[in-house]
Copies of this chain bind each other. A is one copy, B any other.
Amino acid sequence: MPKLWNKGKDDKEVEDFTVGDDHFLDQELLQYDLIASSAHAKALRKAKLISEEELKKLLTGLRQIGEAAENGQFTILKEDEDCHTAIENFLTKRFGDAGKKIHTGRSRNDQALTAIRLYEKDSLLKAADATLNLANELITFSKRHSTTIMPGYTHMRQAMPSSFGLWAEAFVEILINEMTTIKSAYKRINSNPLGSAASYGTDLPIDREYTSKLLGFSNVPNPLAAANSRGKDEAMLISVMHQIMLSLSRMATDLMLFSTEEFGYVQLPEELCTGSSMMPQKKNPDVLELTRAKTAVVQGHYVTVSSIVKDLPSGYNRDLQLTKRPVMESFDITLSSLAIMKRIVKELKVNNKRCLSACSPGLWATEEADKLVKGGMPFRQAYKEVASRLDKLKRPAKPIVPKLKSRRLIELLGEERRLLVGEQEKLQGKLRF
């Protein structure tokens, strides 16, 4: 297949080195490129650079590619280099001159970036959705275990009395906080790269406001700003995914600890554990371990992308191609981790008795000092007093259960859900042909 820039013969080694696995990734980007290309075709028509008939052909062709792809019949090959080339080649083969006109006034730089931004907008909303789903599951869990007293840990040592309700609610609040970051990321990338061409715009009268409206972007940026956002915005998006993964990794760490034979506070759902090839008795928390490890994969991607961007001169540089896989894989990891963690929370069994019996009297040392404080003794003195008779501490018969703020959190979740549904509808309207 001819490459868009091809002037001579191909070179297998160079092709392998430069194309890499882009053609796989582009299979997922294809649908977004088709939408973006149809908007571009409409803008060409508006600028009178193609005829009404040519527009119809192009739109038909783009729709056909979409349908073929859905049926697994439009596969991007390494020789195609990328989905952008594959599309132009298809259109040209099918419609001749109309196909040769689709690339008027655009470059692969802005074409690729537009497809990626649409993909990212879609993926961000999916991440928001999965985040809220997990938060909902945790609220249910939290209410179910609001009175399950357990040791609260600091330094991985028993510290103060806590409850499984408090533990779960903490993660609900943390996940709600992610929504702030997700929304700001969405705003940041909601800027239309189409028309920025090779990085410096085009002298052709392409109406960028018009394509922005067609594609649902809220801003028409300086063309070099659009080009320079590539990679940097990807680093930002990966950091957003990384934030979510860091919370999941800590949740996984807690659950792995709580489900050891030695702690025994919870039992992981059997179908989410795996066994050993050698040891018949094993039930391993592989899903949790991999959640933790995948957090490191996302971190590595952040480093890759930000290192790529750091010293680039302005304008498109080929280095930026290698920011595509990191961002796509980070989204995949985060979406699947959120979903699987939701299943774990849903089916997690808590051993209430074990939780209580594990509580050592020392957990109430601070409460004991506080009692002296209430009687008028300065805290630092009360602290020393209790420290001198730690062996006399006892677990209270009826330990006080920490207060929760479930209602407020449920309200917040509802609010976030409403906002999200609105954005989802708006975006889906733009991603349809």
Contact = CB atoms under 8 A, between A and B. Distances in A.
A17 B336 contact: yes
Contacts of A351: none
Given A154-B198, A307-B310, A287 B14 contact: yes
Interface in A326-378: 326, 336-337, 339-340, 343, 358, 360, 362-363, 365-370, 373-374, 378
B5 A274 contact: yes
A246 B235 contact: yes
Interface in A289-340: 289-290, 292-297, 299-322, 326, 336-337, 339-340
B187 A180 contact: yes
Interface in A189-229: 191, 197-204, 221-225, 227-229
B294 A299 contact: no
Interface stretch (A28-36, A71-79, A158-166, A422-430): A158-166
A243 to B, nearest CB: 6
Given A224-B162, A366-B198, A367-B203, A393 B271 contact: no
Contacts of A152: 198-200, 224, 315
Given A14-B287, A300-B300, A315 B153 contact: yes
- Interface on chain A toward B: helix, strand, loop, or mixed SS? helix
Interface in A1-34: 3-9, 11, 13-14, 16-18
Contacts of A378: 97-98, 100-101, 104
A217 to B, nearest CB: 14
A154 B316 contact: yes
Interface residues on A, range: 35 or more
A228 B340 CA distance: 22
A308 B298 CA distance: 11
Contacts of A299: 303-304, 306-307, 310
Most chain B CB within 10 A, of A85, A272, A274, A294, is at: A274
Contact of A183 (B184, B239, B374, B386): B184
A283 interface: yes
A84 B162 CA distance: 26
A61 interface: no
Contacts of A11: 271-272
Contacts of A421: none
Contact of A310 (B103, B296, B363): B296
Contacts of A197: 160, 278
Nearest to A291: B17
Tell me how many chains of this kind the complex includes.
4
A136 interface: no
Contacts of A225: 169-171, 173-174
Contacts of A294: 322
Interface string A364-406: 0111111001100011110110110010010000001011110
Interface in A79-120: 84-85, 88, 92, 97-109
A310 B155 contact: no
Given A154-B198, A292-B310, A362-B281, A286 B318 contact: yes
Given A180-B188, A290-B319, A235 B224 contact: no
B284 A16 contact: no
A360 B373 CA distance: 45
Interface in A36-67: 49
7 contacts: A84-B277, A156-B257, A170-B222, A198-B278, A253-B312, A290-B322, A293-B320
